[in-house]
Amino acid sequence: MKYKIALVKGDGIGPEIVDAAVKVLDRVGDKFGHSFTYTDVLAGGCAIDAVGEPLPKESVELCLSSDAVILGAVGGPKWDTLPGHLRPEKALLGLRSAMGLYANIRPAVLHEALLSECPLKESIARDGIDMVIVRELTGGIYFGERGRGEGPMGPDAYDTERYSVAEISRIGRIAFGTAMKRRKKLVSVDKANVLESSRLWREIMHSLAAEYPEVEYSDMLVDNAAMQLIRKPSQFDVIVTSNMFGDILSDEASMLTGSIGLLPSASLGSGKLGMYEPIHGSAPDITGKNIANPIATVLSCAMMLRYSFGLEEEALCIENAVSMVLKAGHRTADILGESNAAPLTTTQMTEKIIENI
């Protein structure tokens, strides 16, 4: 099979980790008889520097004409003082919107080989961490009306949280479907004791729960969810939540696995076209040093093979290779822990993964 992949390498370590992932994909292609062709797409801070805007129209068109998109990272201190509509992050929001990607799938798994890297007590970590956070991606406060004005206490600013029945229903179905393929347990996280948008969210989730009687469903307030992720993360299978809550909770969950450099994500819509990216940022402090952990981007490619291309065996091949590398004790600097061994470079870790495919 032949697949066209758009590469949005972006800023900071983005180009390094995307290049690493491409090498792994090419090895998978050789093994299973697939052909991947790549197109570099300009977006983020590098696009601002080159053409004066974070997401050129041509970049959107290239992504829409591809079979899938791999994104490295966007942003950095260099562009922090720009107005909101010119920030690199605008490229990310713009691509999600243009591609109709309303569901962000973020698995968080603690590998047994990295048990010592979990910041929680060993007695808690040993119970296991294996969850998926399903985050609504194109609605809520990040896309609501915003502005600045004059309030009763002087100048103020506002951002609006707003959700429709349709938006909640479609992300809910993704979450219930995901739970059906796992341990059939779903927790919906909201703030229904305060927010009207959360009360609607809970109403719709309850109506969907009736359609999935096999799924053990429950509600949880977001502040409690943040606490429970630390107290007993093993209780979670699938979590579904709004854009902002999902943004925060998924990063919290990521650190329970030992490093944010390990976790992939998939942004999906109604079709097979998706965008796949590590959940970490551009890490400008280590850019160009060849020390970034490529695993999150490599695992994002595994999710691409599974969700966009339907290549389950190939996806498992990558995931198993990563597990074998970690089990063998190979580590990049972010997951080195107290070991006295020399950490692997980005290039070396990539080579180890390729050796195990």
Which of the residues are catalytic?
142, 191, 223, 247, 251
The three-state (H, E, C) secondary structure of 136-161, written as one string: ECCCHHHCCCEEEEEECCEEEEEECC
Distance, in Å, from the CA atom of 225 to the CA atom of 200, rounded to the nearest integer, reads 19
In the three-class reduction of DSSP (H, G, I as helix; E, B as strand; rest coil), residue 199 is classed as helix
In terms of residues, how long is the chain?
A: 357
Nearest-angstrom CA–CA distance, 149 and 147: 7
Q: How far apart are CA 111 and CA 168, in angstroms?
A: 32
Q: Which residues contact 103 (CB under 8 A, 6 or more apart)?
A: 134, 135, 136, 137, 170, 171, 174, 267, 268, 269
Positive or negative, the CA dihedral 252, 256, 262, 268 is negative
Contacts of 125 (CB under 8 A, 6+ apart): 110, 115, 118, 256
Regarding beta strands 154-159 and 146-151, do their DSSP bridges make them parallel or antiparallel, or are they unpaired? Answer: antiparallel
What does the alpha-carbon distance between residue 105 and residue 238 come to, in Å, rounded to a whole number? 10
Cα separation, 23 vs 354, in Å, equals 8
Q: Which of 311, 315, 351 is nearest to 330 (CA)?
A: 351
